[in-house]
Amino acid sequence: MIPIAVTIAGSDSGGGAGIQADLKTFSALEVYGASVIAALTAQNTLGVTGVMDVPPEFVTQQIDAVYSDLDVAATKIGMLSDPATIRAVAAGLKAHRARNIVLDPVMVATSGDPLLKPEAVKVIREELMPLADLVTPNMHEAAVLAGGEVAGNIDGMILQGRTLLRAGAKTVLVKGGHLDGDAVDVLVGAGEPRLFSAPRIETSNTHGTGCTLSSAIAARLAHGDALEDAIAAAKSYLSGALAASGELHVGSGHGPVHHFHALWKKGKTS
């Protein structure tokens, strides 16, 4: 029986990030994907022109509908911009005893457009972060959640990860995509920190990379992988999707990664 994962996030009208990226990732990794849409965005590869939150009551309805019927093996949480919506999601996950929760605290789009209301940060940190089995902030998001400056090196990433552990997180993967050199992510948990490194791929097609990594981790957890194995497999998948992103020719800004790089026939995408 195919494992099931759910994404709770915002919709990306351009198809490269958010709910759309998550569902593509689930499908590519042989997981049945269901969704709870928490916000609608008007965006493309050039930027975000509008965000409309879904009423929290309807977010709750979606959660109840999905989790009461489907045997959900993993949950990925993405963009939640409104405090009331965040509280609704936290309550729903508790009520349905959701497992293998991966929280990607999306705050800013690849284009630089803000996606999160400032007052929502506190609610994410206090009500949602402690429910997650893994939190996957990039360096800027980790700094906001930890209440400090952006880390300048791996040691700083580890310190901010530990700050988030003290704030209630179970494990934290601080993504180091903004550092020079190889793309190094740092896993901080109960034991010694572990580094996950991959060669940096020079491409402007980076739209949805954070969404794709976190949903790939959730997909591998749904398959039954241990957390560190899931992270390693997800990072390898994302590297392949980035390397093949130039085959898509989507948009004139930050294009999407190629979620189906291992499945589509060469020469059929241009």
Q: What is the pLDDT of residue 81?
A: 86
Closest to 81 measured CA to CA, from 47, 61, 53: 53
Q: What is the pLDDT of residue 106?
A: 87
Query: Model confidence at 100, in pLDDT bands (50, 70, 90)?
Result: very high
| In the predicted structure, residue 270 carries a pLDDT above the cut 70 | no
Burial class (CB in 10 A: 0-12, 13-18, 19+), 42: middle
- Mean pLDDT for 102-120 is 77
CB 106 within 8 A of CB 211: yes
Q: What is the pLDDT of residue 263?
A: 92
| In the predicted structure, residue 267 carries a pLDDT above the cut 60 | no
Helix (H) or strand (E) holding 93: helix 83-95
Spatial separation of the C-alpha atoms in residues 181 and 222, rounded to whole Å: 32
172-204 pLDDT, tens digit each: 999 987 777 888 999 999 899 999 999 999 999
The side-by-side arrangement of strands in the sheet containing 172-176 is 47-53, 32-44, 4-12, 72-77, 101-103, 134-135, 172-176, 183-188, 194-198
Q: What is the pLDDT of residue 177?
A: 77
Average pLDDT, the chain: 93
Domain positions in the chain are 4-247
Helix (H) or strand (E) holding 21: helix 18-28
Q: What is the pLDDT of residue 136?
A: 98
| In the predicted structure, residue 94 carries a pLDDT above the cut 90 | yes
15-73 pLDDT, tens digit each: 999 999 999 999 999 999 999 999 999 999 999 899 999 999 999 999 999 999 999 99
| Rg of the Cα atoms in the chain | 17
Domain covering 4-247: architecture: 3-Layer(aba) Sandwich (3.40)
* Whole-prediction pTM: 0.95
- Mean pLDDT for 120-127 is 92
Q: What is the pLDDT of residue 230?
A: 98
- Bridging pattern class, strands 32-44 and 4-12: parallel
Query: Model confidence at 266, in pLDDT bands (50, 70, 90)?
Result: low
| In the predicted structure, residue 77 carries a pLDDT above the cut 80 | yes
| In the predicted structure, residue 114 carries a pLDDT above the cut 70 | no
Query: Which residues lie below 8 Å from residue 32, measured CB to CB, with a gap of 6+?
Result: 2, 3, 4, 5, 26
Spatial separation of the C-alpha atoms in residues 211 and 194, rounded to whole Å: 21
Q: What is the pLDDT of residue 70?
A: 98
Distances (CA, A) of 75 to 30, 194, 210, 243, 268: 15, 23, 15, 27, 32
Range of lowest pLDDT (33-37, 64-68, 110-114, 259-263)? 110-114
Q: Which residues are catalytic?
A: 175, 206, 208-211
80-92 pLDDT, tens digit each: 989 999 999 999 9
Q: Higher model confidence: residue 265 or residue 221? A: 221
Q: What is the pLDDT of residue 269?
A: 47
